[in-house]
C-alpha cells in the first residue's frame, strides 16, 4: 500500500472520529447541565442517584463503560425478559459509542459547571432578587453567561481529551481513525509504523484546531478582567 492511499484511508476514517467528537459534545454539554440541576435538586433520591452516577462515571474507565453499553443489552434483556426475542439495530456499535461517551463526559461537564456556578458571588443572586427577577431569569440571564466565561479553560481541557479518547471506540470494533490505522499497519505491504505516525499527525492537527478555536472563544468572552 502506497503512502498516498494510506493517507486517503486515514482521512476517510477521520470522518467517523470527527462525528464521534461532535455528537459527544452536542449530547454531553446539555446533559451535563441537566445533571447539574439533578445534583442540586431538593429531592433526596434524585440527588443521591445523580451523585452515584457521577461517581461511577468518573471512577471507572471509559473503555469499560463502552463495553458495558455495547454488550449490556445482549446480556441483561434475556435475563430480565426470558423468551422475549429482540435484536439490536445494525448501527448499534456506533450508537453504543455515542451513548457511552455522552454519559461519561456529561458527568465531567456537570462538575465543571458546578464549580463555575458556585464560584459566582452570592451578591449576584441578591441583586437579581432586588430587581425582581425569577430564579430561572436569574440563572439564564445573569448566572449562566458568567459561568460560561469561567468554565472555558477546564472545558477546553475536556474537549482536547475527548479528541484523544475517540480512539477508545476501537475497543468495540468501531472503525474510526485509530482502528483504520491498526488495520492498515498489519496489512500486506503496508507502510508499517509510518501509519501510526500519520495517525498521530491527524490527532495532533485536530487537537491543535480545537485548542485554537477554544482559545478564540475564550478571548471573545474576555470582556472584563
pLDDT in tens, 14-57: 889 999 999 999 999 999 999 999 998 889 999 999 999 999 99
pLDDT of 1: 62
What angle is formed at CA 91 by the lines to CA 86 and CA 97, rounded to 5 degrees?
105
CA distance to 16, 83, 90, 152, 208, per residue, from 214 (Å): 22, 51, 35, 8, 10
Q: How far apart are the C-alpha atoms of 194 and 192, rounded to whole Å?
A: 5
15 CB-side CA count, 13 A: 5
> What is the phi/psi pair of residue 139, to 5°?
-70, -50
The 8 Å CB, 24+ separation contacts for 186-191 are: 187/1, 189/1, 190/1, 190/6, 191/1, 191/3, 191/6
Q: What is the pLDDT along the chain (225 residues), one digit of tens a residue?
A: 677 777 888 888 888 999 999 999 999 999 999 999 999 888 999 999 999 999 999 999 999 999 999 998 888 877 777 777 777 777 889 999 999 999 999 999 999 999 999 888 888 888 888 888 888 888 888 888 888 888 998 999 999 999 999 989 988 888 888 888 888 877 777 777 788 888 899 899 999 999 999 888 888 877 555
CATH number for the domain spanning 46: value is 1.10.3720.10
Residues 170, 199 contacting (CB under 8 angstroms): no
C-alpha cell of 210? 480545537
pLDDT in tens, 89-105: 778 899 999 999 999 99
Is 136 domain-assigned?
A: yes
Q: What letters, b where the CB count within 10 A reaches 16 and e where it falls short, cover 2-16?
A: eeeebeebbeebbeb
Is 82 domain-assigned?
A: yes
Is 53 domain-assigned?
A: yes
* Burial of 197: CB neighbours in 10 Å, binned 0-12, 13-18, 19+: exposed
Helices (H), 119-176: 122-130, 135-137, 144-165
Is 86 domain-assigned?
A: yes
Q: How far apart are the C-alpha atoms of 98 and 142, rounded to whole Å?
A: 32
Q: How far apart are the C-alpha atoms of 8 and 28, rounded to whole Å?
A: 30
Is 225 domain-assigned?
A: no
**Rounded mean pLDDT of the chain?**
87
Structural domains in the chain (count): 1
Residues 190, 128 contacting (CB under 8 angstroms): no
C-alpha cell of 128? 437579581
Amino acid at each position: 500500500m502506497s503512502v498516498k492511499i494510506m493517507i486517503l484511508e486515514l482521512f476517510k476514517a477521520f470522518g467517523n472520529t470527527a462525528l464521534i467528537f461532535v455528537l459527544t459534545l452536542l449530547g454531553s454539554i446539555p446533559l451535563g447541565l441537566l445533571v447539574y440541576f439533578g445534583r442540586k435538586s431538593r429531592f433526596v433520591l434524585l440527588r443521591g442517584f445523580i451523585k452515584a452516577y457521577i461517581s461511577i462515571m468518573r471512577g471507572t474507565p471509559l473503555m469499560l463503560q463502552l463495553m458495558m453499553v455495547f454488550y449490556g443489552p445482549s446480556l441483561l434483556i434475556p435475563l430480565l425478559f426470558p423468551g422475549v426475542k429482540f435484536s439490536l439495530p445494525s448501527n448499534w456499535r456506533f450508537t453504543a459509542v455515542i451513548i457511552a461517551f455522552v454519559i461519561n463526559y456529561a458527568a465531567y461537564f456537570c462538575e465543571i459547571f458546578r464549580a463555575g456556578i458556585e464560584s459566582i458571588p452570592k451578591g449576584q443572586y441578591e441583586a437579581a432578587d432586588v430587581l425582581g427577577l425569577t430564579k430561572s431569569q436569574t440563572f439564564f440571564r445573569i448566572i449562566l453567561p458568567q459561568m460560561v466565561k469561567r468554565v472555558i479553560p477546564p472545558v477546553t481541557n475536556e474537549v482536547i481529551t475527548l479528541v484523544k479518547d475517540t480512539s477508545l471506540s476501537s475497543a468495540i470494533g468501531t472503525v474510526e481513525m485509530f482502528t483504520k490505522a491498526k488495520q492498515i499497519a498489519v496489512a500486506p505491504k503496508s507502510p508499517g509504523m509510518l501509519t501510526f505516525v500519520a495517525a498521530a499527525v491527524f490527532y495532533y492537527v485536530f487537537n491543535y484546531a480545537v485548542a485554537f478555536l477554544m482559545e478564540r472563544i475564550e478571548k471573545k468572552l474576555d470582556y472584563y478582567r
